[in-house]
């Protein structure tokens, strides 16, 4: 099973901005306990590399990836820290080429058919649809993806995704998984609300099972 197949099996990827790497393992444990052993640690903070490294080393059962990877230097940091995959809000051909060179599964951000064709040319099997709700929501993605379904490309909508609209996204066969910031918010991490994060993860897992069971 490929990395992106494993992500698709979870259907929800917690998108996390961590300010203190000391919170890395409590966060990982909270997600694991909630039955959602996957996380996208964004490079929006200086703690990203240390956080990824701590989780990859001490909690290998959690599939940890890097988010908001904007350049080759960040990608190298992610790979060297042990990230299993990476995503970006946009598409940069040079970063995609470097990801391929380093052997890191990479999902660039797209919002238009032109973006999507550039991703396909670069050999991408999954892309991030970002910002998902402001860009038009599930209806927009369905229409953008329609001419490309035969390619097998899969999507990771992120930005405005919530428990309330989760079913709308996961009902689209082209959606592999969504990115969600609600699972482990910056405020809950700072406050050490690990039980709440576990509960959020468990609720997301249950909702995914319900949606997929009814599809």
Show which residues are catalytic: 40, 128
Cα within 13 Å of Cα(4), Cβ side = 20
Q: Give CA–CA dist 50/56, Å, rounded.
A: 10
Q: Give CA–CA dist 86/67, Å, rounded.
A: 6
- Count the neighbouring beta carbons within 10 Å of the beta carbon of residue 22: 12
- Contact (Cβ atoms closer than 8 angstroms) between residue 10 and residue 34: no
Angle 105-127-155 from CA coordinates, rounded to 5°? 120
Side-by-side strand order, sheet with 12-16: 106-107, 86-87, 63-67, 38-42, 12-16, 178-180
């Amino acid at each position: 099973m490929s990395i992106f197949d494993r992500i698709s099996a979870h259907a929800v990827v917690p998108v996390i901005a961590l300010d203190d790497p000391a919170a890395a393992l409590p966060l990982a444990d909270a997600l694991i306990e909630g039955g959602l052993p996957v996380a996208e640690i964004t490079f929006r903070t200086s703690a990203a590399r240390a956080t990824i490294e701590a989780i990859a080393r001490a909690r290998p059962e959690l599939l940890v990836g890097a988010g908001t990877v904007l350049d080759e230097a960040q990608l190298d940091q992610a790979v060297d820290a042990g990230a299993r995959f990476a995503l970006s809000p946009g598409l940069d051909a040079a970063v995609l080429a470097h990801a391929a060179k380093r052997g890191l599964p990479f999902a660039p951000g797209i919002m238009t058919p032109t973006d999507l064709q550039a991703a396909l040319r670069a050999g991408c099997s999954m892309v991030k649809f970002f910002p998902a709700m402001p860009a038009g929501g599930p209806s927009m993605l369905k229409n953008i993806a329609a001419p490309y379904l035969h390619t097998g490309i899969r999507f990771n909508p992120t930005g405005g995704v919530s428990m309330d609209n989760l079913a709308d996204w996961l009902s689209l066969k082209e959606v592999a998984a969504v990115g969600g910031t609600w699972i482990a918010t910056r405020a809950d991490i700072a406050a050490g609300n690990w039980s709440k994060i576990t509960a959020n993860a468990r609720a997301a897992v249950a909702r995914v099972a319900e949606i997929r069971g009814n599809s």
